C-alpha cells in the first residue's frame, strides 16, 4: 500500500516537473511578445517624465569595432522618445560605408521596439547628396533624419562654409567683423537642414571627439556602445534634461 502511494506521488511530481518545464520554456516567447507590446508605451511614459529632450542627439563612436544592432537600438530609442535628428560619427567613415547594415538593423529594431507603431515613423538616412525628403502630405507620419558622418564631413563642412563666407564678403553682403559663430551655424544648418546637436554620446575609451565638430554641446561619455541597455540610454538622456545649459541664456 505504501509503495503504491509513493509511486503515485513520484508520478505526480514528475508530471508537475514536466508541466513547469513547459511553462519555463514558453517564458522567453511570452516575454518577447509582451516586450513588443509594451516597449513603445514605456518609452513614451519615460519621455513624459523628463524635464526636456534634445532635438538632435549625436553619437560619436571612438571604438575599433562597431555593433550595428546596438547603434540601431540607440537610434530607435531616440525616435521613440520623440527626438527628430540623430547623427552617428566615426572618424574613418566605416559606419557610413556600411550604412546598409545599420539600416537593416534599424528596421529590425523598429519591429521589436515600435511594434505596431513602426509605420508612424519614417527614419530617413540623410546624405549630403540627397535632396531634402518631403513628408508626402501625411501628417500622421513623423519624419526623423539620421546622418552618418566621418572626419571628411567635418573638414568639408568647414571648407565649404569658409568659401561661402569669402564669397559673401567679396560680394559686400558681409563684413569680416559681422562674421560670428551664429553666422557659421546658420550657414551650416541652411546647407544640411540639421540643427546643432544638443547632446553628444561619446562611446569608447578615448577622451576625445576625434574630429567631430566642436559644437557647444552637452557631452556624455560611456565606456562602449556594445550591449548598451535601454536603462543606460535613459539615464544619459535624463541627465541631459537635468543639466542647466547656461550658455544659451
Question: Domains of the chain: which residue ranges?
Answer: 1-38, 50-248
Lowest mean pLDDT among 170-174, 176-180, 211-215: 211-215
User: Residue 25: pLDDT above 80?
Assistant: no
Q: How far is CA 125 from CA 38, 122, 238, in A?
A: 27, 10, 26
Strand partners, 126: 147
Distance from C-alpha of 194 to C-alpha of 186, rounded to nearest angstrom: 10
Q: In this predicted structure, what is the pLDDT of residue 211?
A: 73
Distance from C-alpha of 196 to C-alpha of 185, rounded to nearest angstrom: 8
Q: In this predicted structure, what is the pLDDT of residue 216?
A: 53
User: Residue 10: pLDDT above 80?
Assistant: no
Region 13-34 average pLDDT: 51
Distance from C-alpha of 176 to C-alpha of 227, rounded to nearest angstrom: 48
Region 9-19 average pLDDT: 65
pLDDT band at 209 (very low <50, low <70, confident <90, very high): confident
Region 48-58 average pLDDT: 91
Q: In this predicted structure, what is the pLDDT of residue 173?
A: 78
Kindly report, residue by residue over 217-246, the tens digit of the pLDDT: 678 889 999 999 999 999 999 988 776 655
Region 169-180 average pLDDT: 78
Q: What is the 3-state secondary structure (H, E, C) of the chain?
A: CHHHHHHHHHHHHHHHHHHHHHHHHHHHHHHHHHHHHHHHHHHHHHHHHCCCCCCEEEEEECCCCCCHHHHHHHHHHHHHHCCCEEEEECCCCHHHHCHHHHHHHHHHHHHHHHHHHHHHEEEEEECCCCCCCCCCCCCCCEEEEEEEECHHHHHHHHHHHHHHHHHHHHCCCCCHHHCCHHHHHHHHHHHHCCCCCCEEEEECCCCCCCCCCCCCCEEEEECCCCCCCHHHHHHHHHHHHCCCCHHHC
User: Residue 30: pLDDT above 60?
Assistant: no
User: Residue 14: pLDDT above 80?
Assistant: no
User: Residue 26: pLDDT above 50?
Assistant: no
pTM of this prediction? 0.71
Q: In this predicted structure, what is the pLDDT of residue 249?
A: 44
Distance from C-alpha of 122 to C-alpha of 103, rounded to nearest angstrom: 12
Instruction: Report the mean per-residue pLDDT for the chain.
Output: 78
Q: Are strands 121-126 and 199-203 parallel, antiparallel or unpaired?
A: unpaired
Q: Do the Cβ atoms of 55 and 219 come closer than 8 Å?
A: no
pLDDT band at 172 (very low <50, low <70, confident <90, very high): confident
Q: Which residues of 204-225 are buried (b: 16+ CB within 10 A; e: fewer)?
A: beeeebbbbbebebbebeeeeb
Name the CATH code of domain 50-248 (choices 3.40.50.510, 3.40.1180.10, 3.40.30.10, 3.40.449.10).
3.40.1180.10
- What is the Cα 100 distance to its own chain's centre? 16
User: Residue 135: pLDDT above 70?
Assistant: no
Which is more confident, 103 or 3?
Answer: 103
Region 34-61 average pLDDT: 82
Amino acid at each position: 500500500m505504501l509503495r503504491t502511494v509513493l509511486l503515485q506521488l513520484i508520478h505526480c511530481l514528475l508530471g508537475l516537473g514536466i508541466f513547469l518545464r513547459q511553462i519555463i520554456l514558453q517564458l522567453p516567447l511570452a516575454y518577447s511578445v509582451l516586450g513588443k507590446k509594451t516597449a513603445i508605451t514605456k518609452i513614451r511614459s519615460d519621455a513624459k517624465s523628463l524635464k526636456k529632450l534634445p532635438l538632435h542627439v549625436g553619437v560619436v563612436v571612438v571604438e575599433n569595432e562597431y555593433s550595428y544592432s546596438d547603434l540601431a537600438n540607440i537610434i530607435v530609442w531616440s525616435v521613440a522618445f520623440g527626438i527628430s535628428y540623430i547623427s552617428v560619427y566615426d572618424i574613418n567613415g566605416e559606419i557610413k560605408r556600411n550604412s546598409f547594415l545599420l539600416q537593416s538593423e534599424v528596421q529590425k529594431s523598429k519591429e521589436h521596439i515600435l511594434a505596431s507603431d513602426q509605420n508612424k515613423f519614417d527614419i530617413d538616412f540623410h546624405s549630403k547628396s540627397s535632396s531634402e525628403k518631403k513628408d508626402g502630405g501625411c501628417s500622421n507620419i513623423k519624419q526623423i533624419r539620421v546622418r552618418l558622418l566621418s572626419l571628411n564631413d567635418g573638414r568639408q563642412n568647414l571648407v565649404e562654409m569658409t568659401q561661402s563666407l569669402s564669397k559673401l564678403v567679396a560680394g559686400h553682403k558681409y563684413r569680416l567683423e559681422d562674421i560670428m559663430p551664429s553666422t557659421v551655424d546658420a550657414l551650416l544648418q541652411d546647407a544640411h537642414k540639421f540643427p546643432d546637436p544638443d547632446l553628444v554620446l561619446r562611446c569608447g575609451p578615448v577622451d576625445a571627439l576625434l574630429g567631430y565638430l566642436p559644437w557647444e554641446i552637452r557631452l556624455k561619455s560611456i565606456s562602449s556602445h556594445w550591449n548598451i541597455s535601454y536603462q543606460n540610454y535613459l539615464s544619459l538622456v535624463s541627465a541631459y534634461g537635468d543639466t542647466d545649459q547656461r550658455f544659451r541664456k
